[in-house]
Amino acid sequence: MERLETLRGRLDEVNSKLLGLLNERAAIVREIGEVKEELGMAKYDPAREREMLERLVAANEGPFSDDQIKHLFKQIFNVSLGLQESNRKKELLV
């Protein structure tokens, strides 16, 4: 039971680091969206997403399978894109 508590403590630490990194990533994506806006480029870039996924899968050492990693990052990409959209909507409302 003590071992379970130790592992749960480690899990909470990793969760907290993940939270920080996800938000760091979200801030970068938002900045990329702003630069693309200035340059008149489309926000959604499927080729770039595919490239990122390929790089991640190539670097994946598990325990998560390549498919699980792809699934999770696709979710992260989708939610990030939603973030750009909602910022845009906010801008349009100003």
Binder of a second copy out of 43, 50, 71, 88 (CB under 8 A): 71
**Binding residues among 34-63 for a second copy as defined by CB under 8 A:** 35-36, 39, 48, 52, 55-56, 59-63
Is residue 19 involved in binding a second copy (CB under 8 A)? yes
Residues 6 or more apart whose CB falls under 8 angstroms from that of 5 comprise: none
Please, what is the minimum distance in Å from the beta carbon of residue 12 to a second copy? Answer: 7
Per the structure block, which two tokens stand in for 39? 């340059």
DSSP 65: -
With contact defined as beta carbons under 8 Å apart, do 66 and 57 qualify?
A: yes
Site of tokens 């997403």: 49
With contact defined as beta carbons under 8 Å apart, do 84 and 30 qualify?
A: yes
Binder of a second copy out of 3, 40, 46, 94 (CB under 8 A): 3
Q: Which residues of this chain interact with a second copy, rule CB under 8 A?
A: 1, 3-4, 7-8, 10-12, 14-19, 21-32, 35-36, 39, 48, 52, 55-56, 59-64, 68-69, 71-73, 75-76, 79, 82-83
